[in-house]
Amino acid sequence: MYKIKNILEGIVPYGHNPYNSNAQGKGKIAEEEREEIAKQNIYKNKEGCFIPARHFKACLLQGCGMAGLKYGKKGLYPYLNGAVFIDPLEIPLHKDTYDFIYKRMGRVPPKTGGLVPIYTACFNAGWSVSFNWVVMDDRLSAKQIKEAIEQGGLLVGIGNNRPEYGRFIIKEWEVNKDGNR
């Protein structure tokens, strides 16, 4: 087992859009109410806004597929999925609230009904997060993990409205195989 500490920086805005049970089952919603729901609809805990770790895990896995990474003759995807985890599960954004509301037209749920305005709380480009990749299998290459997250960060992104929003680059990457940090 080893850990990789990384700092990622957003090169475009990042959009939050968690599930909101208050907006479900209301039928038609006025635009003003949609905007108000978006303002409240952010990932937040007692320390402030955060990004769920699953966003980065999904990005890692999609980046792995886009890069065509292999583990021997097999695809690397199932090995990354089973052996790479993220600590913490709620990655702090070090902000208390969003920067702006992005409005676009779309379908809710996707591909049904007519177009409706969709409001998303967003953070400006330049957002930054720091967390650890915990690699449970020493046979997995830190170089391949880095390549997968680089591809995912540049081509896939995280959050809502990707890939236009949510894309990022790696600012720091520190592999620690001695287990002391």
Please give the mean pLDDT across all residues of the chain.
90
For residue 27, what pLDDT is reported?
60
Q: Which regions of the chain are under pLDDT 70? A: 19-27, 108-113, 179-181
For residue 35, what pLDDT is reported?
84
For residue 94, what pLDDT is reported?
95
For residue 181, what pLDDT is reported?
46
For residue 179, what pLDDT is reported?
56
**Would you list the DSSP string of 149-177?**
HHHHHHHT-SSBTTTTSS-EEEEEEEEE-
